[in-house]
Amino acid sequence: MSDYKKIISAYKDKPGGLIEAYHALQREYNYIPEDAIAVAAEIFDVSPARAYGVATFYSYFKVGPRGRFIIRICESAPCHVAGAADVVSALESQLGIKMGETTADGKFTLEFTECVGQCQGTPVITINSTPYVNVSAKTIPEILQGCK
């Protein structure tokens, strides 16, 4: 818990400090630990409900453990038309989890995202923010193999 306090306290007197503290926590842990939200509420002198509301309002923030590799698939219309559903099926099949879940070994998390600005190469996935364009069900095994 003291690590949370140290990270969060560094942003106490900064504009947008709570959001910046959550960014710092997510950089450190790859998610926002639920226990850290209570610490943030105390440090920023806001209610626990408000601190939780900020953590869950922004789609970039994730509360609770996530995998080391965050795989997001664009769910915008161009990717959908280009076969994103087949890519989702391949990812779920290869990893043995559904969208929104994390593998038991903590290695992979599957999430949907909005447009990532790579519409010239649909469907698109990102792995820890690195885009992969023109993805198909056939390319998923090779892409996953590259995650070490």
What is the CATH number for 120? 3.40.30.10
Residue 38's domain spans which residues? 2-57
Q: What are phi and psi of 138, to 5 degrees?
A: -70, -30
The answer to the question of residue 45 being in a domain is yes
Answer for the pair 138, 103: CB distance below 8 angstroms, yes or no: no
- The per-residue pLDDT for 62 is 86
Cβ–Cβ < 8 Å for 97, 110:
yes
Task: Please give the biggest Cα pair distance in the chain.
Answer: 51
How much of the chain exceeds pLDDT 70, in percent? 99
Question: Binning pLDDT at 50, 70 and 90, where does residue 2 land?
Answer: low
Per-residue pLDDT for 109 more than 70? yes
Residue-wise pLDDT for 126-147, tens only, equals: 998 899 999 999 999 999 999 8
Domain-embedded: residue 62: no
What pLDDT does residue 125 have? 96
How many independent structural domains does the chain possess? 2
| pLDDT tens track for 29-75 | 889 999 999 999 999 999 999 999 999 988 778 888 889 999 999 98
The model's pTM is 0.76
User: What is the average pLDDT value for the chain, to the nearest integer?
Assistant: 92
Confidence bin at 90 (pLDDT 50/70/90): very high
* Helix locations, the chain, DSSP H: 2-9, 17-29, 34-44, 48-57, 77-81, 84-95, 140-145
The per-residue pLDDT for 114 is 86
Please tell me whether residues 19 and 77 are part of one structural domain: no
Query: Of the candidates 57, 84, 102, which is a domain's last residue?
Result: 57
77-87, pLDDT tens digit by residue? 998 899 999 99
Q: State whether 51 and 74 are in the same domain.
A: no
